[in-house]
Amino acid sequence: MPDAFAELRHELAVANRILANEGIIDAFGHISVRNPKNPDRYFISRHRACELVEPSDILEMTLDSKPVVPTNVRLYSEMVIHGEIYKARPDVNSVCHHHAPAVLPFCATGVELVPLFHLGGTLGAKVPFWDSRDEFGDTNLLVRTPEEGASHARALGAHYMLLLRRHGASLAGKSLRECVFRSIYTTRNAELQLRAMAIGTLGPLSAGEVEKCGGHNLGARGVERAWEYWVTRLQKAEAMWAAAGLPRLRNLAAVGRPQTAGLAPTRRAAQREERARSRTGTKNRR
């Protein structure tokens, strides 16, 4: 039976590998995408490090984070992070959870993460802070129960990034690529903030700047340009894998080009397309 979601599984596998290649996720952490045909379902890898995820590892889950097709394979223990955000936020179509070294100092201290450069504007107006101890006391710090997941989603509220005390960060996006974009640039912002705090006083973006920068950077053009760049970097990294005799993701090049569907073409591209169309039309009439 053909898999109606083959392309989506492939794209999610690529997103997993990009986040590993860019140093956001190591052995732990995960990213998911909501099913575009059924908002009550989402896709996520089985229990596996992001860098190794294949399209065949991607499973479909209900919003209660149970596999749609019963399986014996091991699953991530923190899937409720994803399911409970999808329940609470119909506008969110992708969720990422990670423990990037640059954000951990903020999780350890409670120092607020603030937007410091234009691309940092993607962290939004505010990055709330969630401490599992407030409601659940001593735990192993993993977000595992539906109650913990729901509490975590409540803490995110209407925002796009949440810091988890003593743990890591969770991010939301309107699309998979937007979520990858935000996950990477908010981590870059955290790296910048650590350095900036060491040499001087922070001068964060104003609320108006955050809004304008976030809106501009997250436009399709910016996100697609960055996606093409990250896929190319991944291709270079995976070429080294291939040289080392390690299996690499098949057809990676198929998503190397940015998907510009839905974007208005430049005027010249539109004219070229028009000329090509009229040529074919003439040929067909002959």
What's the CA gap between 117 and 161, in Å, rounded?
16
DSSP-assigned letters across all residues of 152-193: HHHHHTT-SEEEETTTEEEEEESSHHHHHHHHHHHHHHHHHH
Question: Which of 173, 134, 138, 140 lies closest to 152 in space, CA to CA?
Answer: 134
What's the CA gap between 190 and 113, in Å, rounded?
7
For the annotated catalytic residues, the residue numbers are 78
How many positions of this chain bind Mn ion (CB under 5 A)?
Answer: 1
| Residue 163 Cβ vs Mn ion, minimum distance, rounded to whole Å | 12
Nearer to Mn ion, 115 or 173 (CB): 173
| Residue 168 Cβ vs Mn ion, minimum distance, rounded to whole Å | 5
CB–CB of 152/119 below 8 Å?
no
Residue with token string 């960055």: 226
Nearer to Mn ion, 115 or 168 (CB): 168
Nearer to Mn ion, 10 or 98 (CB): 98
Nearer to Mn ion, 149 or 168 (CB): 168
| Residue 97 Cβ vs Mn ion, minimum distance, rounded to whole Å | 6
Interface map 122-161 toward Mn ion (x if CB under 5 A): ----------------------------------------
Interface map 10-49 toward Mn ion (x if CB under 5 A): ----------------------------------------
| Residue 257 Cβ vs Mn ion, minimum distance, rounded to whole Å | 33
What's the CA gap between 51 and 28, in Å, rounded?
10
State the residues that interact with Mn ion by CB under 5 A. 168
